[in-house]
Amino acid sequence: MLQYDKRDEWPQWGETRHLNLAHPEPVEGRQRNPPQSIFLHPRPKPTRELMSKRRPITRRRHKPWTAYLQIPPFLPVPLRTRRDGWTPARQARFIAALVRTACVRKAAQAIGLTRESAYRLRRHPRAGSFRAAWDTAVSGKQQPRWKFTQAEARDLAVEGPFRIALHRGSPRTIWRKPDDSRLLSFVTRLDRLVAHLTPSQQDDLLAWAVTQPHLRRFV
């Protein structure tokens, strides 16, 4: 009877054998098998049927960029000063309320005035820039800027136009700043006017201009 000895199959005790799983050693009487894939599910070959089932690759369509709405700078309509009337500050707040509500009646009620008085103010002959800001606020579309006339140059240089800053379509800040370019043009015109005067006359003219509040910025 043959006795089974484990050492007949495996190397001698104490020896090491390196097994190559990708390229196993050939067995007598058998042909050497090619290396098999290590993936459980090998990737199928692309066919017409598989290609037809694939989802089409679509790129994201970005929305066209649109410019943010900007209220054009405007001068307040010159009126008689009344505490309960259309003061320059109320006119600026009215335009800001128009941007928020797009309704003349609600905007007028927000500042404590009526819709009829707002339309009377709009029909004023010197309300050109105010009308341009009104139309932009109500329509929500950018309107062409109002071209200030020579008669409005003094107000631009001394007081300046109102500006309303918008953030995502809603008003955030209202400020008023004199226009330095208009001021420099006035200073140039003033230099031409006083060029023919004597130094003493120029000093007297400048001393008088300092005392005038609306001319103090020109000196």
Model confidence at 65, in pLDDT bands (50, 70, 90)?
A: low
List, in sequence order, every residue forming a beta bridge with 175; answer none if it has no partner: 163
Residue-wise pLDDT for 125-158, tens only, equals 999 999 999 999 998 887 777 888 888 888 888 8
Confidence tier at 74 by pLDDT (50, 70, 90): very high
pTM of the model: 0.60
Name the more confident of 8 and 86.
86
Q: What is the pLDDT of residue 110?
A: 92
CA dihedral of residues 75, 77, 82, 84 (deg, nearest 10):
-90
| Predicted confidence (pLDDT) per residue in 170-190, tens digit | 899 999 988 888 878 877 877
Please give the backbone phi and psi of residue 172, each rounded to the nearest 5 degrees, phi first.
-120, -40
Q: Does the pLDDT value for residue 87 go beyond 80? A: yes
